[in-house]
Amino acid sequence: MKSNRRLALIAIILTMAIMNIGCTPKQEPISKTAFLMDTTVTLKIYDKQDEKIIDKAIQRLKEIENRMSRTIEDSDISLINKNSGIKPVQVHDDVYYVLEQAKYFSTISNGAFDPTIGPLVDLWDITGDKGERDSLPTDGEIKERLELVNYNDLELMEDNYVYLKRQGMELDLGGIVKGYAADEVKRIFLENGVKSAIIDLGGNIYALGEKSNGDPWRIGIQNPFDVTGTYIGIISLKDKSVVTSGNYERFFIYQGKRYHHILDTKTGYPSESGIAGVSVITDKSIYGDALSTALFVLGVEEGTKLINTLEDVDAIFITDKDEVVVQDKLLDKFELRNDELKLVVNPN
Ligand code: ADP
Ligand code: MG
């Protein structure tokens, strides 16, 4: 009798579950793509059909770009740069916040991440052309520029005043600003009742909430060895940021060798830490962005030491020895989908 009742109950629950599945319409997301912050931005909302929310987010991205791009002449960052070694400049709260974070990540990474990298970025001039070049900067030029790179000479003062202490110093927030921007889009989405969305700022991803059926999002991890943008594997997660830095995004070729856009502040050259790509999983995208750049420069060993000192930070390293190094706590979330790469569990 008892077991009959239980069976009946199970039958009712099953029927309800099936009906529920049957009734839920599979909703297409609303989506917009724009070219902003020197990258392709795609915003997708899955649980609301209100395009105005996306437009609001895009407006905010433009505002951030206008304040923080160093190629926009009257941006706060350009004003700081123009006044390096001359005088402090008062900046907007947003800019001050990003600079505080940038300085913090410089400090904890011992300068592997350094927002005063501007003079070196200019010298290398690594755009996205992926073509051949017939010369490199000279060692003398590199040394000269390297002397201008030092986050300790970025002064964050009272009342949002910011000062670069030496003439010729230049801020470049390319390694952190997309993370901040993704966090801001997330904030706008949440404030407008969006609970399920994918925010993609050129590979700097925020997977907001979960899929409409309650499943985790499945985010592809880019293959750094294939510039056409295939995936080496998939990570399943809910409400997390996944930021990838790779040597495939922007580079040029000189005498058969790839020179990419993430620079080592110790040598002044594109970093050669044995990493082809690294993806960092965090709650805040600004942390993930700064850290992805830092870990790329630090390499697996030093990079792992750094993230072990931080809370809620996970990383997937792809090395130039065709290994994918993950921490064991990520194993149940990460699925390798490439036969040529070997999965290595990070012992640290
Ligand atoms: P992407 O911008 O391709 O997503 P990153 O977040 O790693 O990749 O940022 C790389 C950009 O950051 C470079 O284009 C340059 O503007 C800047 N950058 C390069 N090297 C460093 C560094 N060591 N520290 C801070 N920023 C850097
Ligand atoms: Mg970065």
Picking from 256, 273, 282, 286, the residue whose alpha carbon sits closest to that of residue 321 is: 273
pLDDT for res 284:
98
Q: Which ligand is nearest to the CA of 263?
A: 1
Say if residue 271's pLDDT is above 90.
yes
- Name which residue sits closest to atom 5 of ligand 1, judged by CA: 175
Predicted confidence at residue 322, as pLDDT, reads 96
Centre of ligand 2 to C-alpha 231, Å, is 19
Give residues with Cβ within 8 angstroms of 63, minimum separation 6.
none
Considering every ligand atom shown, identify the ligand nearest to the alpha carbon of residue 151 and give its number: 1
Per-residue HEC secondary structure of the chain comes to CHHHHHHHHHHHHHHHHHHHHHHCCCCCCEEEEEEECCEEEEEEECCCCCHHHHHHHHHHHHHHHHHHCCCCCCCHHHHHHHCCCCCCEECCHHHHHHHHHHHHHHHHCCCCCCHHHHHHHHHHCCCCCCCECCCCCCHHHHHHHHCCCCHHHEEECHHHEEEECCCCCCCCCCCCHHHHHHHHHHHHHHHCCCCEEEEEECCEEEEEECCCCCCCEEEEEECCCCCCCCEEEEEEECCEEEEEEECCCCEEEECCEEEECCECCCCCCECCCCEEEEEEEECCHHHHHHHHHHHHHHHHHHHHHHHHCCCCCEEEEEECCCEEEEEHHHCCCEEECCCCCEEEEECC
Mean model confidence pLDDT for the chain: 92
| CB of residue 285 inside a 6 A radius of ligand 1 | no
Lowest mean pLDDT among 20-29, 215-224, 241-250: 20-29
Give distance in angstroms: CA of 83 to centre of ligand 1: 23
The model's confidence at residue 22, banded by pLDDT at 50, 70 and 90, is: very low
The answer, yes or no, to whether any atom of ligand 1 lies below 6 A from the CB of 180, is no
Residue 247 has pLDDT above 90, yes or no: no
Please determine, for residue 343, whether its predicted confidence score (pLDDT) is greater than 50.
yes
Q: Which pLDDT tens digit goes with each residue over 138-165?
A: 999 999 999 999 999 999 999 999 999 9
Q: Are 115 and 171 in contact (CB under 8 A)?
A: yes
Q: For residue 339, what pLDDT band results from cuts at 50, 70 and 90?
A: very high
Is the CB of residue 279 below 6 angstroms from any atom belonging to ligand 1? no
Q: Is the CB of 205 under 6 A from ligand 1?
A: no
- Ligand 1 contact, 76 CB (< 6 A): no
CA distances from 115 to 93, 104, 270 (A): 17, 11, 15
The pLDDT of 196-201, averaged and rounded, is 98
Q: Do residues 61 and 36 touch, judged by C-beta distance below 8 A?
A: yes
Identify the nearest ligand to the CA of 246 by its number.
Answer: 1
Compute, in angstroms, the gap from residue 208 CA to the centroid of ligand 1: 24
- Of 166-175, 232-241, 247-256, minimum mean pLDDT range: 247-256
For residue 9, name the pLDDT band (cuts at 50, 70, 90): low
| CB of 292 closer than 6 angstroms to any ligand 1 atom | yes
pTM score = 0.91
Q: How far apart are CA 166 and CA 158, in angstroms?
A: 19
Measured from the Cα of 244, ligand 1's closest atom is: 4
What residues form DSSP beta bridges with 251?
260
Output the pLDDT for position 25.
53
- CB 109 less than 6 A from any atom of ligand 1: no
| pLDDT for the residue 78 | 98
Each residue's pLDDT tens digit, 298-316: 999 999 999 999 999 999 9
| Model confidence band, residue 7 (pLDDT cutoffs 50, 70, 90) | low
CB 180 within 8 A of CB 64: yes
The finding on whether 244 has its CB within 6 A of some atom of ligand 1 is no
Beta bridge partners of 321: none
pLDDT in tens, 116-126: 999 999 999 88
Residue of higher predicted confidence among 24 and 171 = 171
pLDDT value at 18 more than 50: no
- Scanning the structure block, which residue is given the tokens 């993930």? 288
The two three-digit tokens of residue 285, written as one number: 């995208």
Å from CA of 252 to ligand 1 middle: 15
The CA 262 to ligand 1 mean position distance, Å, reads 5
Q: Rg of the chain over CA atoms, in angstroms? A: 23
Mean pLDDT within 322-341: 94
106 CB neighbour count, 10 Å cutoff:
24
pLDDT for position 20: 45
Q: What does the block give as tokens for 326? A: 């993950």
Ligand 2 centroid to residue 92 C-alpha, Å: 22
Which of 103, 108, 172, 252, when mutated, tests ligand 1's pocket best, judged by the most ligand atoms within 8 Å of its CB?
A: 172
Least confident segment among 20-29, 157-166, 175-184, 251-260: 20-29
Whether 91 is in the pocket of ligand 1, judged by its Cβ within 6 Å, is no
> Domains in the chain, start-ordered, CATH in brackets?
5-66+176-346 (3.10.520.10)
Contacts of residue 10, Cβ cutoff 8 Å, sequence gap at least 6: none
Residue 106 pLDDT > 70: yes
Q: What's the pLDDT score for residue 63?
A: 98
Residue 33 pLDDT = 98
C-alpha 241/C-alpha 182 separation (Å) is 8
Name the closest-CA residue to atom 1, ligand 1: 245
Who contacts 316 (Cβ-Cβ below 8 Å, separation ≥6)? 221, 233, 235, 278, 279, 281, 324, 325, 326, 330, 334
Does 293 sit in the ligand 1 pocket, CB within 6 Å? Answer: yes
